[in-house]
Structure 1
Amino acid sequence: MRTGLQRFLLALTGLLLLVLGGAVLAVGLGVRPPSWWLHTGPHDVLLTRAERTRWRDAGWWWPAVIAALALLVLLALWWLTAALRRRRPAEIPVDTGDGAGARLRGRALESALTAETAAQPGVADARVRLAGRRTAPKVRARIRLEPSAAPEEVLAAFTAGTLTHARESAGLASLPAEVRLTEVGHAARRVT
């Protein structure tokens, strides 16, 4: 689930629960509610006896309630697992050739890629992140170019140099990359 959508749904749910809880608390403390509100005063009940027992004898009522609650629990569990799932690999296994192997921290590889990319000529700033699984990582790079830089040269240096070094150092068969190039904003020069 995308982070923006997740934050929006969480904020909407929190706001709805806050408004409903605050309204029920206000009515319970004696604040006079509007005429359209569900409760008329602090001694009013949420559901009357007739409303609570209306569907009790219907054969479809309890299976429908249980199915709706089960669906709600499954959606909440899906949301929780989507929120807790790691988007970046924490470690990448490296074959050292002696059978024992080693683990390369994902953040160490990210910082090495970022430093090497930022040191290239024509690059003003770089941000490199890993994505994918730990056995098949992918690189997502955002490179900000200086105004005089040639994008094809920077991209060629990144793929042939930086990306190749990282792939060979980690012992990976492939290291796919998604690169976004942007330029640094600069003020126009005045001619007098």
Structure 2
Amino acid sequence: MLRTVNRVLVGLAGLLLLCVGGAVLAAGLDLGVPSWWPWRGPDAVLLGEARRGRGEWRWPAAVALLAVLLVLALGWLVAQLRRRRLTEVLVDTGDGEGAVLRGRALEGAVESEAATLEGVSRASVRLTGRRTAPAARLSLLLEPHASPADTLSHLTTGALAHARTSAHLPALPAEARLRAAKRRPGRVT
């Protein structure tokens, strides 16, 4: 969803900047702007003395609008820079110090064990959340003969349980997305 919002926002911002820039360029070069256009020629001013004195509420409203736009733009920038994948997991070793486990190592262990389950042709795992409370997102491609209920049961009692106990996590919430592999129809002769 964030990818779609990014594309729409960047597209709208680009279109707005292109239109405004083209209009300012056409007015500045005096390239036949329409008669209703408020600025004509390179010597035209954006707000004249008469318009600037009118409406004392306009300037605070304009500043408030720009402040809201700035906050929205900064929030969008922070969302772009935030990492989606957990890089490390904090393992409680019992001595008060703790150890750090690479997130990719735990992902790889769960992924390889999930791929060995019966009926699973491909598995991918991504860790999200905080380093003290990770969560797993799994995507499994199932063979046509596989039972989704059995696969989920083996996944929770096998790969996810092993990952939870090996990293000494109190819980490892997981979201599994199961897809069926496409199978070519057999020929009947």
The normalised TM-score by structure 1 is 0.83
Number of aligned residue pairs: 189
AA in 1 matched with 2:24:
V
Q: Which runs of 5+ in 2 are unaligned?
A: none
Structure 1 equivalent of residue 92 of structure 2: 95
Runs of 4+ aligned structure 1 residues displaced above 3 Å come to: 26-49
The alpha-carbon deviation at position 97 of structure 1 amounts to 2.6
* CA-to-aligned-CA distance 1:114-139 (integer Å, 9 cap, x gap): 22212222111112111222211111
Look up the match of 1:121: 118
Name the % identity: 55
CA deviations over 1:162-191 (Å, ceiling 9, x no partner): 101111111101101111111011221121
Q: Is the Cα contact below 8 Å between 1:129 and 1:139 reproduced in 2? A: yes
One-letter code aligned to 1:134: R
**Which SS does the other structure have where 2:183 is aligned?**
coil
Instruction: Flag structure 1 segments of 5+ consecutive residues without an equivalent.
Output: none
CA RMSD of aligned residues (A): 2.4
Distance 2:107 2:62 in 1: 49
Q: Normalising by the residue count of structure 2, what TM-score does the alignment of the two structures yield?
A: 0.85
Question: Which whole-Å CA distance do the structure 2 matches of 1:18 and 1:116 have between them?
Answer: 52
**Shift in Å, 1:47:** 3.3
Output the amino acid matched with 1:45: V
Q: CA offsets, 1:13-37, max 9 Å, x none?
A: 1332133223423443454345565
Indicate the residue corresponding to 1:28 in structure 2.
28
Distance 1:148 1:101, change over 3 A: same
After the TM superposition, which of the residue ranges 39-48 and 98-107 deviates more from structure 2?
Answer: 39-48
Report the secondary structure of 2:108's partner residue.
helix
Contact 2:30–2:40 (CA under 8 A) maintained in structure 1: no
